[in-house]
Structure 1
């Protein structure tokens, strides 16, 4: 690796004819010493995020015990077991009041899901998250969930991990791209530490935060995720978060049913997105400061919690019961409806909370109900209500978040049921399709889209990286000879208007070897004597690209040196000029891309081929 770096450095230091270093495109290495450093930081970040996740879980347990059982304890308990009666309305209101104060006087960024805020920082602020978010977000989330908020701990942990990664990237010397990688590594580590699902955590980071798939970002994120999962195993063990009995191989008819359930989840995901933001818009019209809105949402939490105590808190037990078929149809419908009301109203009020666990609960419950209903009507079809619940859980999240692969793999990693992968892939794919058709933005991107921030949804190969400069460069180059005098060239500029209107001219010797480039302004504004050879006027280092360089290399080189055209030299003979590439040549690559995406009739295709 070190030898490659030295060779690359040596290659970049060719000497021009005037004895000065030539400026050729730098060699882009996939793996180098800098990436190794980034990986080391990512491993440390994985350990830190895993510890932060454990601290957050302890804080949630502490506030839950304090709010619902009036005791000081860090033992994990469910608020559903409280005996407070109508007093159950009080803890959510107190918690919401504290969160309102923290949001107003600490940071308003603690309001909402957590993931959209991280996405916005990646897309608009070079992945810079304020340092105070590393403690404000987890503390506010612990208070919110601990006082009955119907949210999962994974969203705040992901937000905390991303804040830790961003903070690390601001403390050490990094580029914006490296800082984004560290932010995504922290987020993936947070999710892996919560669910023990490192692969889906990496996929989620790619689909929602990195918006790219390349080794320089993928490797550090993967290492951080694996490290966090290993720490979790050391603390909690390797058992799946949502254990299920072994599943049977699904029949062909059952697979079609599961795919249809995925389609229904896609419709539900679009509806949930629109309803949630409609509630948020309704809060925007209230004639009071937004600091007080969470207390209104808390009334919904407490009121629903009185009639349906299982809606209070994270509710991971509800997901496990649905995946194991432990709910009767009526009980599942009641829980799903109450959970959605409590979650959507409280989230729309601007309190601190996440989206994953509530979506999993609603999706699993709906899938279980549909599976039980269809199984009762078509018992011979082999429809397993537990698989239907599994598909519903993952598919609803896939449609709401547009994280297709992350959703399917997550359901597998948290249950360790490989026979569920085929139904999961079909259901999540269909959900993604229907949700995208019915709703332009996802539940996670609608908020930032309203602020004018566009989140990428397609990760295409860079067309500029697929085209060699030699294939788009002009071979007929108007050059100047090094031995020509200034007077001769000025006379030529006056007599040949067709070729003398270029902005720059490569200067070559008698063997067509590149010496440098002179612009039209250089030639007209020169104060040297009329008989001065052009060789003596070349003062700037030669800036060029190879014929085998990519169009991306050329474009980056143009931007780096603020030039609009580059001489092209032979890779075999770096001093031999073989062409010139301009900005318009670079843009012609995108013209090809647009032409490739045009839909034409098959008959027209054959006519073009002929």
Structure 2
């Protein structure tokens, strides 16, 4: 006997008590505990990297043994040292990349993203060693780069290596990788909040307690350890009151637009340079040395454009920089950074963006009204970060933590958000994601609520289903299917049939393939009781579409019986993969279909004088 009797909707109650805002399990505490030593080691590595940069810079440009961070090309060098040092540094990096690991090429963050998304969060041990050394050589020999990208990659490598020695999932390895990366960044700049924001906006690709809590734990530990090693003050302290007026806030939009355009130009220059280097008839191993030629020439024109340039950033932010140097930094630093980065050398993005953005704002301060020391440099700095990295929250928080200017939060939001909007409209990808796209991969940085998480199985499942009594034979079951009316498309496409006893007691399920095989090979006399799968994968009407989709993927099925949560033998419906797409259909409809919900009505004479 078979039945296609619809199951009444009232028989499917919805209970949401088993669902929560977050899927947090006690395991997140274990991963958070593992993140603590990762954060500690990342802080020490950040300190060591900065000291190594200082050591190389002092040795090359000042011929002395010292580990303090100093500016290369400070006016005390022979011209040939400024010219040749970046070339030699590029040669060394090229050899390290070819005979060590090609992963050390680039500015660190795209490589970290690629390891997370495509490599199962597994980083080679040699990268953890070669990346900081190659970056220290690049920066110490005059490269116009920052230390943050390399320390993000190195800290991530430390977290990944630690995770690879343990029995962890790929998601847990990702969490520890990002914990190390964010911890290294926090230790470098003393910006714990910005480091966490960067992790959320750029590296984690999720917002969940299982990843946020360990990352926050690692960042806090790294920041605490940083204080005795590198100090606990802000990196670029700025003093003086701000007098922010509505006019100044409106001009922050202009600053954001200009900063966004500068970010677009810089991004395009990086990848135009990369395209140009690919056309050269030489092996990529020699490209960093050619990039070193560009750096050396730029250093001879504007020596202050070499190196990390923290002293220049500080001068921009406190308003003590001269206009000649501002123009030189704005032009020369942008060109040598973008063109040499395209050569595949090793160096970071953030510090150069600080300097370039600060120079833009310092230039604007000659036109815009005075608000306070370094105000326009600060807003432009956040704008360039928002435009280049497409991470406006990180740009705002970074600018405040670097300077202690928490009273400038609104202008910073205006500038960074404006630049972010412009960059998003005009460029498909950022300087951080274009490299991944050029390798044939795609990632999206848009995060929204999964529509499959909002809707329930009971809203999309089919209640009018074809089911069989367990005493039917396979031949009889096939005969029922052949007798289904042609216009009953849903039943003819069902393909999975519940086997029941009584009215709705589920015994198992049987597929059409099983029925056809039984008829062709065994004559069709086998009963469905013997033929059916007695422990099918099931779901519940009050389960979200996302959980059901996950269960389908994990068990390689595309249809599932829906049973009562309290009584797992009571059949209430059937759900298929196609039905799950209804959640996506509703999401697309909400995004594309426009409607006017409210209308204004004009009062006509006599309306207010009407009586009932």
TM-score (structure 1 length as normaliser): 0.89
Counterpart contact for 1:370–1:385, Cα < 8 Å: no
Counterpart contact for 2:239–2:373, Cα < 8 Å: no
Q: Which moved more, 1:570-579 or 1:221-230?
A: 570-579
Q: Find the counterpart in structure 1 of residue 217 from structure 2.
A: 223
The partner residue of 1:518 within 491, 510, 513 is: 510
- How far off is 1:578 after superposition? 0.9
Residue 366 of structure 2 aligns to a residue whose secondary structure is: helix
Q: Find the counterpart in structure 2 of residue 277 from structure 1.
A: 271
Q: Which moved more, 1:145-154 or 1:564-573?
A: 564-573
Q: Find the counterpart in structure 1 of residue 414 from structure 2.
A: 426
Please tell me whether residue 509 in structure 1 is matched to residue 501 in structure 2: yes
Residue 214 of structure 2 aligns to a residue whose secondary structure is: helix
Q: Find the counterpart in structure 1 of residue 13 from structure 2.
A: none
Q: For 2:26 and 2:403, locate their aligned partners in 1 and report how far apart those are by CA, in whole Å.
A: 38
- How far off is 1:416 after superposition? 1.6
Q: How many residues align?
A: 576
The partner residue of 2:556 within 556, 562, 565 is: 562
Counterpart contact for 1:367–1:385, Cα < 8 Å: no
Change (3 A) 1:308 1:519: same
The partner residue of 2:430 within 425, 442, 450 is: 442
The partner residue of 1:180 within 174, 185, 188 is: 174
Change (3 A) 1:199 1:542: same
- How far off is 1:528 after superposition? 7.3
Q: Which moved more, 1:361-370 or 1:595-604?
A: 595-604
Please tell me whether residue 345 in structure 1 is matched to residue 339 in structure 2: yes
Map 1:363-374; keep pairs closer than 5 Å: 363-374=357-368
- How far off is 1:175 after superposition? 2.0
Counterpart contact for 2:104–2:346, Cα < 8 Å: yes
Q: Find the counterpart in structure 1 of residue 8 from structure 2.
A: none
Residue 132 of structure 1 aligns to a residue whose secondary structure is: helix
Please tell me whether residue 45 in structure 1 is matched to residue 38 in structure 2: yes
TM-score (structure 2 length as normaliser): 0.89
Q: For 1:352 and 1:201, locate their aligned partners in 2 and report how far apart those are by CA, in whole Å.
A: 21
- How far off is 1:406 after superposition? 0.7
Q: Which moved more, 1:134-143 or 1:78-87?
A: 78-87
The partner residue of 1:462 within 427, 444, 450 is: 450
- How far off is 1:150 after superposition? 1.2
Q: Find the counterpart in structure 2 of residue 406 from structure 1.
A: 394
Q: For 2:29 and 2:74, locate their aligned partners in 1 and report how far apart those are by CA, in whole Å.
A: 49
- How far off is 1:195 after superposition? 0.7
Residue 76 of structure 2 aligns to a residue whose secondary structure is: coil
Residue 27 of structure 2 aligns to a residue whose secondary structure is: helix
Q: Find the counterpart in structure 2 of residue 156 from structure 1.
A: 150
- How far off is 1:106 after superposition? 1.0
Counterpart contact for 1:395–1:424, Cα < 8 Å: yes
Q: For 1:462 and 1:402, locate their aligned partners in 2 and report how far apart those are by CA, in whole Å.
A: 22
Gapped regions of structure 1 (runs ≥ 5): 1-24, 376-381
Deviation per residue, 1:151-202 (Å, 9 max, x gap): 1111111111122222233222222222222222121111101111111111
Counterpart contact for 1:247–1:420, Cα < 8 Å: no
Change (3 A) 1:148 1:500: closer
Map 1:29-44; keep pairs closer than 5 Å: 30-44=23-37
- How far off is 1:71 after superposition? 2.5
Please tell me whether residue 139 in structure 1 is matched to residue 133 in structure 2: yes
Change (3 A) 1:202 1:562: same
Q: For 1:451 and 1:90, locate their aligned partners in 2 and report how far apart those are by CA, in whole Å.
A: 32
- How far off is 1:341 after superposition? 2.6
The partner residue of 1:55 within 37, 48, 55 is: 48
Counterpart contact for 2:240–2:372, Cα < 8 Å: no
Q: Which moved more, 1:98-107 or 1:528-537?
A: 528-537
- How far off is 1:428 after superposition? 0.3
- How far off is 1:34 after superposition? 2.2
Residue 368 of structure 2 aligns to a residue whose secondary structure is: helix
Residue 554 of structure 2 aligns to a residue whose secondary structure is: helix
Counterpart contact for 2:456–2:541, Cα < 8 Å: yes
The partner residue of 1:69 within 39, 44, 62 is: 62
Residue 81 of structure 1 aligns to a residue whose secondary structure is: coil
Q: Which moved more, 1:397-406 or 1:321-330?
A: 321-330
- How far off is 1:132 after superposition? 1.0
Counterpart contact for 2:28–2:209, Cα < 8 Å: no
Q: For 2:84 and 2:324, locate their aligned partners in 1 and report how far apart those are by CA, in whole Å.
A: 29
Counterpart contact for 2:60–2:85, Cα < 8 Å: yes
The partner residue of 2:80 within 87, 97, 112 is: 87
Please tell me whether residue 118 in structure 1 is matched to residue 106 in structure 2: no
Q: For 1:247 and 1:143, locate their aligned partners in 2 and report how far apart those are by CA, in whole Å.
A: 40
Deviation per residue, 1:306-327 (Å, 9 max, x gap): 3322222111111111010011
Q: What is the alpha-carbon root mean square deviation over aligned residues?
A: 2.4
Counterpart contact for 1:204–1:403, Cα < 8 Å: yes
Counterpart contact for 2:240–2:373, Cα < 8 Å: no
Gapped regions of structure 2 (runs ≥ 5): 1-17, 601-612
Q: For 1:495 and 1:557, locate their aligned partners in 2 and report how far apart those are by CA, in whole Å.
A: 33
Q: For 1:29 and 1:340, locate their aligned partners in 2 and report how far apart those are by CA, in whole Å.
A: 44
Q: Find the counterpart in structure 2 of residue 8 from structure 1.
A: none
> Segments of 4+ in structure 1 off by > 6 A?
25-29, 527-531, 603-606
Counterpart contact for 1:507–1:516, Cα < 8 Å: yes
